[in-house]
Amino acid sequence: MSDDLAKGDYVRATYQGRSVKAIVLLASPNGRSLIISWMATGDGMLGGHAGTMPILRDAGGYYYSLMEGEPVTLERIEAATP
């Protein structure tokens, strides 16, 4: 079984100490390049990102913001998870 994320997967994204529920909008076939999106709640920002974030996964399986190169934690969740 693969742990790769795919288009349509829901995730809990944590970046710079803030977490949001997001969905994978786009995913490369190998799962290493992603774009996630979240609903605007509060100020709608996650770091410097307003509603979407491009992400890359390194060879070790860690995710990073494409724009800043800082770590992002992505945890697959069910769609109904608050």
Give the pLDDT confidence of 50-65 residue by residue, as tens digits.
Answer: 889 999 999 999 999 9
Model's pTM, two decimal places?
Answer: 0.85
Task: List the domain boundaries for the chain.
Answer: 10-77
Per-residue pLDDT reduced to its tens digit, 4-34: 899 999 999 999 988 889 999 999 998 899 9
User: Phi-psi region for residue 38, left (φ > 0), alpha (ψ -120 to 50) or beta?
Assistant: beta
Answer whether residue 49 shows pLDDT above 90. Answer: no
pLDDT category of residue 3 using cuts at 50, 70 and 90: confident
Cα–Cα dist 30/4, whole Å: 7
pLDDT category of residue 41 using cuts at 50, 70 and 90: low
CA atoms within 13 A on the CB side of 51: 2
